[in-house]
Amino acid sequence: MRRKLAAGNWKMNGLSDQLAEVEKLCGAHPNPKVEIMIAPPATLISSMVVTAADHPLEVAGQDCHAKDSGAHTGDISAAMLKDAGASHVILGHSERREDHDETDDDVRAKARAALAAGLKVVICIGETLEEREAANTLDIIAGQMAGSLPDILTGENTIIAYEPIWAIGTGKIPTLEQIGEVHDFIRSKLEARFGDGVGRSIRLLYGGSVKPSNASEIFAVSNVDGALVGGASLKADDFSGIIQALE
């Protein structure tokens, strides 16, 4: 059985006072039936770990460097995230791929570094609107999977987030059939590459404009094991509604 997961990505949002939302969220879900994770900006990782000390909330980084240490001003290593208390790191988010020209090879190298440091990885993939309209979605997904996923992954250490880029922060979501088609395709590719056991155990998240109002129908789609949530993870009430839909 794959454990359901509600993961929030705060992106470049949140100062210390935003931790009040985490306190509220933890208070609203003292014994969550699903896994809950938040990826705050790196500046808040340690304090979020302290805020959630008595709660099974997992704290994640939003990116890491592929190298362990060195002359990389402004970057953060996987070991640093782990040292700060993170259990996971999001890699290959479309905003990293676009803003920082990250390639599939970069994402795979980062994933190897993160796994070696003892972090679990959430690897993001997804097509642009042009790619979808040109009926290239599945080819793009296959290429990103082939390039971004390291060979050493397991169902325990890796989660994949399917995030159509055109659905992120736009309020638009694919049809449920489109979400199902891509998740089923990812599952079949994982089984073909890693074998049925590992392929069936890796959790798949949908990401892109998930809200309390659309979460239930998305979570009912086959092979959707939860969500990666941007905007709606910033407010405890909104994220709580999504968690409830998953429970």
Catalytic residue among 88, 95, 163, 183: 163
Name the residue nearer to ligand PEP (CB basis): 174 or 208: 208
Does 126 bind ligand PEP (CB under 6 A)? Our answer is no
Q: How many CB atoms sit inside 10 A of residue 191's CB?
A: 15
Do 105 and 73 touch, CB atoms closer than 8 A? no
**11 labelled ligand-binding:** yes
Name the residue nearer to ligand PEP (CB basis): 125 or 228: 228
Query: Per-residue x/- mask for ligand PEP, residues 169 to 198, rule CB under 6 A?
Result: x-----------------------------
- Would you call 247 a catalytic residue per the annotation? no
**Nearest partner of 137 among 180, 195, 201, judged by Cα:** 180
Judged by CB under 6 A, the number of residues near ligand PEP is 13
**CB neighbour list of residue 130: distance below 8 Å, 6 or more residues apart:** none
Name the residue nearer to ligand PEP (CB basis): 209 or 240: 209
Does 9 bind ligand PEP (CB under 6 A)? Our answer is yes
Q: Facing residues of 203 across strands? A: 159
Q: Which residue from 66, 159, 168, 202 is in contact with ligand PEP, where contact means CB under 6 A? A: 168
Q: How many CB atoms sit inside 10 A of residue 113's CB?
A: 22
- Would you call 93 a catalytic residue per the annotation? yes
* CA 119 – CA 112 distance, rounded (Å): 10
Catalytic residue among 21, 93, 95, 127: 93
Q: What angle do CA 91, 125, 186 make, to 5 degrees?
A: 120
* CA 159 – CA 205 distance, rounded (Å): 7
Binding residues (CB under 6 A) for ligand PEP: these are 9, 163, 168-169, 207-210, 228-232
Residues in binding site: 9-11, 169, 209, 230-231
